[in-house]
Amino acid sequence: MRVRWKVLIVAALIAAAAWGEFIHDIRTPRASLVEIHALGTDISIKVDDFLRIGDAMKKKYGPDAGTILVTNPARAITRINGKDVNDVKVPSQLADVLGFFIIGPPGHHGSTFPFRIDPRKAPEAGRKSEPGVRSLKSRFGKEVPDKYLDFDDRDSVMDGCITTSGADLGEFGRLLRIQSSTSCVVFWRAEPAGSMLISVVLANGDPWMRPFTRRVCRWLMSAALTRVATTDREPPPDYAACVLVDRPDRLGAAETLKVYAYEVRRDGSLAYAH
């Protein structure tokens, strides 16, 4: 009986250590910073796919059948006299992730980093704040206090973007089924000035990857910082943020984005921001 209890205790200790190491990433330091963000996603569909569905529904239900497109996820709903008669998924893909991060010391309004990033391709170099303040207010104005969107489009610029494929990340990237990622440095020119490396990563590893996203994101950001350092002569960014998008075409994907923000320390290590 005593041996059995010892085995159970050892197993529990191993499980606790694994949970702390691989899920909670407990050994990574925590920064004395406050971070908030607002994020959204855009999807794209091929018009021909939607029109093809509409034509098929008219052939099946007659000329009175009208088909409309709804999003999140993209679906074509066919109605006759206000009654739904068919609901089918429309092929779509993630177009981009947009929004902003605000990060700084507790009790202070920190630096703001607006962005719009497509994980499949890098934007043009030297592009000004995108999306603009007007677009951000339209998208997030009902959810975010006005003070967080009180800035000018000229206050930020996005530059130093790189795109990475799963193959570029070696065996670990293939194991995680990373499809692609785009990482860009956003510079905040107003006070307090700062810079943030933002990575939008497209993956296909759900559901097994979900518990390990904290550790996965930190590894991905360390890799992105290393790549940026080899292609840019600018000093390392002050902060970093990982936006992990896993299987974005599934139902509810917009609500299950995994987001982690970090302070980039002088030695290049990362510390979690709260």
Total number of domains in the chain: 3
Mean pLDDT of all residues in the chain? Answer: 81
Q: Which residues make Cβ contacts (< 8 Å) with residue 153, sequence separation at least 6?
A: 128, 129, 132, 133
- Quick: pLDDT tens for 73-82: 778 888 988 8
Do residues 203 and 82 both lie within one domain?
no
Interatomic CA distance for residues 224 and 74, integer angstroms: 31
Do residues 83 and 170 both lie within one domain?
no
Do residues 119 and 60 both lie within one domain?
no
Contact between 123 and 17 (Cβ < 8 Å) = no
Strands of the sheet containing 75-80, edge to edge, are 66-70, 75-80, 83-89
Whether residue 3 is predicted with pLDDT greater than 70 in this model: the reply is: no
Per-residue pLDDT at 130: 66
Interatomic CA distance for residues 100 and 143, integer angstroms: 13
Per-residue pLDDT at 23: 45
Do residues 255 and 159 both lie within one domain?
yes
Do residues 198 and 147 both lie within one domain?
yes
Do residues 111 and 137 both lie within one domain?
yes
Contact between 157 and 187 (Cβ < 8 Å) = yes
Scanning 94-162, the segments in alpha helix (DSSP H) are: 133-140
Do residues 158 and 75 both lie within one domain?
no
Beta strands in the chain (DSSP E): 34-45, 66-70, 75-80, 83-89, 92-104, 111-117, 127-128, 156-165, 178-188, 194-203, 239-246, 258-264, 270-272
Considering the entire predicted model, what is its pTM?
Answer: 0.81
Q: Which residues make Cβ contacts (< 8 Å) with residue 140, sequence separation at least 6?
A: 38, 40, 99, 149
Contact between 260 and 198 (Cβ < 8 Å) = no
- Quick: pLDDT tens for 60-75: 888 888 888 887 677 8
- Quick: pLDDT tens for 147-177: 999 999 999 988 878 888 877 877 777 777 8
Do residues 67 and 12 both lie within one domain?
no
Do residues 112 and 161 both lie within one domain?
yes
- Quick: pLDDT tens for 93-119: 888 899 999 999 998 889 999 999 999
Q: 81: domain range?
A: 47-89
Do residues 52 and 97 both lie within one domain?
no
CA distances (Å), origin 72, targets 202, 207, 250: 17, 19, 9
Contact between 196 and 237 (Cβ < 8 Å) = yes
Do residues 257 and 227 both lie within one domain?
yes
Do residues 171 and 208 both lie within one domain?
yes
Whether residue 53 is predicted with pLDDT greater than 50 in this model: the reply is: yes
Taking residues 54-61, what's their average pLDDT? 89
